[in-house]
Structure 1
């Protein structure tokens, strides 16, 4: 439904409007920092009154927390799409899809069809400059979560979700004999800690850390999964 006359504005449903607010806040948080997310700033970006944003988010902390989740969830879905569970099974260690063995021969950076290909693609993406903004966002959120309980709940939830996403791929690779790992959950936690550890320096001494830290998280993953050095590197070309 729209108003009549020039300059007509589309009337959005509450669900659409809320999504728009969160998405806009997520973009601000990702590019400028979570501290820059305010009701007024989001309203200015959307060209609406701040009272409209406040109607959906009376507390700015709730908007900041949901913006963080929106941004990191979108990033995770792009980096490592959720591994499908087998029909009739549940849990994180039963996620090998039919035909996943074929994916062991797919080293490319496109659609990875198997566990090995999926992790090669994952590590290729997180080693690029495109991952820097989300690394800064995580660092920012962990710092602020010390003082913001609502944000802390979202940070913990996302940490567990990222671990579970990695765990499911690892478990699938164990089933296809691509990986050798007795505890996929523990391996996933250690892999994520390695990723976060190298990302902790994202705001400082970049010129000094770039060389020594290149491939550290990938090397940790190769060790955890019983792979030879370089096995998770994307094939050249």
Structure 2
């Protein structure tokens, strides 16, 4: 029984990664990408991956809809905007997990600039300008479905 506990702890450490938030995000992205690859051969997994992807789209589209209703965002089609944003995030996560040491420049700026354009906000308005940590100061988020 004791070996099972240790093996479980080792697996959790591997999944979480040993580094900081970026390492953990890359580990989560790799798990998510593994699910994408395995899903066509495993119908139950495919259904779960699809459910999580649609849930992520629905959550983001709802945020964009509320922002539109409140006059904060200018979004013609919240569902289409949500899809474009999540496709960008997924693409960045794939690149960063497969080529973690490659120079990507300011990935935060790429993502936040794209989101700002997508929702009709002025450039730089989603990035923190204070000394307090803001949304763009955090390490890149894990995959939306993970």
TM-score by length of 1: 0.44
Query: Is 1:220 matched up with 2:114?
Result: yes
Give 1:134's aligned residue.
28
- Secondary structure at the counterpart of residue 44 of structure 2: helix
Give 1:195's aligned residue.
89
TM-aligned CA deviation for residue 30 of structure 1: 7.7
Give 2:48's aligned residue.
154
Matches within 5 A, 1:17-166: 28=12, 31=15, 128-129=21-22, 130-166=24-60
TM-aligned CA deviation for residue 174 of structure 1: 0.7
- Secondary structure at the counterpart of residue 166 of structure 1: helix
Radius of gyration: which is bigger? 1
1:212, 1:219 → 2: CA distance? 11
Structure of higher RCO (CA pairs closer than 8 Å, 6+ residues apart): 2
TM-aligned CA deviation for residue 216 of structure 1: 2.2
TM-aligned CA deviation for residue 134 of structure 1: 2.1
2:101, 2:86 → 1: CA distance? 23
TM-aligned CA deviation for residue 29 of structure 1: 10
2:129, 2:120 → 1: CA distance? 19
Structure 1: state its 5+ residue gaps. 1-23, 33-127
1:203, 1:179 → 2: CA distance? 31
Verify the 8 A CA contact 2:61 2:78 in the aligned structure 1.
yes
Give 2:143's aligned residue.
none
Verify the 8 A CA contact 1:163 1:188 in the aligned structure 2.
yes
Verify the 8 A CA contact 1:201 1:209 in the aligned structure 2.
no
1 or 2, which has the higher helix percentage? 2
Verify the 8 A CA contact 2:29 2:97 in the aligned structure 1.
no
1:204, 1:185 → 2: CA distance? 28
2:35, 2:108 → 1: CA distance? 24
Write out per-residue CA displacement over residues 196-223 of structure 1, whole angstroms, 9 at most, x where no aligned residue. Answer: 0100123332222442533322222111
Verify the 8 A CA contact 1:29 1:137 in the aligned structure 2.
no
Verify the 8 A CA contact 1:31 1:133 in the aligned structure 2.
yes
**Equivalent pairs, count:** 117
